[in-house]
Amino acid sequence: MSTKPTISFSHLGCEKNRIDTEHIIGLLAQAGYQVDANEELADYVVVNTCSFIQTAREESVRTLVELAEANKKIVIAGCMAQHFQEELLAELPEAVALVGTGDYHKIVDVMQRVEKGDRVTEVSPQPTYIADETTPRYRTTSEGVAYVRIAEGCDYRCAFCIIPHLRGNQRSRTIESIVTEAQQLADQGVKEIILISQITTNYGIDIYGEPKLAELLRALGKVDIPWIRMHYAYPTGLTPKVIAAIQETPNILPYLDLPLQHSHPQILRAMNRPWQGRVNDDIIEKIKAAMPNAVLRTTFIVGFPGETEDHHAHLVKFVKRHEFDHVGVFTFSPEEGTPAYSLPNQLPKAVMDTRREKIMQVQQPISGKQNQKSVGQVVDVLIEQENPQTGELIGRSPRFSPEVDGLVYLQGKARLGSIVPVMITDADVYDLYGYVDLSKSSN
């Protein structure tokens, strides 16, 4: 019977944070700590916080305050620990430790010091660490899917973004390291891996001297995982070489997550984006011509300082013209420490909210139309949930990424974590509906 304390976890924010949390759990479990999902039964709660935008910080603060009011001993990890060190320690006496974004691999040492009565701050000013395939990990996703971080940090300096301050400059893993981890996941029965970093199309520049995404994709094609999906593919990095690698590697899904943020050249210049204006139209048309079956997802920011009605109208036309499969829209969040924080012509919240709603209204029928194309087709679906009351299965087709896109609701029998053929009988704006088609072979 272990005498080590029990630790619970609260994960907030993006999938990059999720991977950090999974490594923290893996490291502590390997060291003999008890892990319990029930915060009430835990001696300590590790909260992996998000500090990307104001709403994320508010959620993190709410979680921390609720735990403090419950008299829990809190270890604050992640972006808020990196961002607001002294303030957190001053405001939350229940916080027994702070662990930065580049220091989570030291969690066992931190907990050992905490157990001795120390109040620990382990926050490197410039994060440089990146976990690899040798770092213990306990996956928190559904059994069929796993995220794989191919690089950490960002070398761009977009005017609205605090990520480089929170995560440091880009540092990539080697192709061999990533392929080894993918093989480990395949051996565990994972059917889909999702490649993530801040700028996936810049993968490898820091260690190879040039982008190596195409080479990575081809190497991953040799791993027995049916689906490999990319997030954060910056448009300028989708070179003919990368597009060819996607087309010629059967397990690389033609799903492109393109974080465009805006369409108007003036706003893109003000944002200090690494590409501007007409480039967006040209690149998207080239991608569509080269990959007619590609699923395109993007995100936009409305209400950036100085955005006029004409700028917004330009974005509305852009969304209508390109008919993306999935669109996420965010209102501008002024982040202290970024150039955009002090720009003139900041817009009222009401204006930003109205503009966000307008883009969503334009996009919804487009998303519905794109979903309707699957009706009458048999598509592969990764089964992730089962409703115990109704027996209804819930999964995702290749056109849906976890958390951010829609779901497939289906009737029939299938094992969780398996990929099965599904006849799609109906669709709405966000989701698909169907049944397991036993006349088709499944893998």
User: Using one digit for the tens of pLDDT, what is the confidence trace for 375-415?
Assistant: 999 999 999 999 888 889 999 999 999 999 999 999 999 99
Kindly report the pTM of this predicted structure.
0.92
Name the 3-class secondary structure at 280.
Answer: helix
* Model pLDDT for residues 133-150, shown as the tens digit of each residue: 999 999 988 889 999 999
- Domain limits, the chain: 6-122, 145-373, 377-440
Report, as an integer, the average pLDDT of 335-362. Answer: 94
Which CATH number applies to 6-122?
A: 3.40.50.12160
CATH assignment of 377-440? 2.40.50.140
Tokens of 35: 């892990």
Residue 18 backbone dihedrals phi, psi, to 5 degrees: -60, -45
Position 55 scores a pLDDT of: 73
Nearest in space to 303 (alpha carbons), one of 247, 361, 343 = 343
Binding residue per annotation — 10? no
* 19 labelled ligand-binding: no
The gap from C-alpha 12 to its chain's centroid, in whole angstroms, comes to 12
**Which CATH code, of 3.40.50.10170, 3.40.605.10, 3.80.30.20, 3.40.109.10, is assigned to 145-373?**
3.80.30.20
Collapsed DSSP state (helix, strand, coil) of residue 126:
coil
**What is the distance between the alpha carbons of residues 213 and 220, in angstroms, rounded to a whole number?**
10
Give, in degrees to the nearest 5, the angle at Cα 342 between 338 and 348: 110
Please tell me whether 174 is known to bind a ligand.
no
Q: Is 79 annotated as a binding residue?
A: yes
Q: Is 187 annotated as a binding residue?
A: no
CB 212 within 8 A of CB 175: yes
Provide the mean pLDDT of the chain.
Answer: 91
Q: Which residue has the higher pLDDT, 214 or 2?
A: 214
Of the chain, the percentage scoring pLDDT greater than 90 comes to 70
Confidence bin at 189 (pLDDT 50/70/90): very high
Coil, helix or strand at residue 123: coil
Provide the pLDDT confidence category of residue 369 given band limits of 50, 70 and 90.
very high
Please tell me whether 428 is known to bind a ligand.
Answer: no
Residue 299, beta-bridge partner list: 328
Q: Give me the mean pLDDT over the 265-272 stretch.
A: 93
Please write the tens of the pLDDT for every residue from 417-443. Answer: 999 999 999 999 999 999 998 776 544
Helices within 134-209 (DSSP H only) = 163-167, 175-187, 205-208
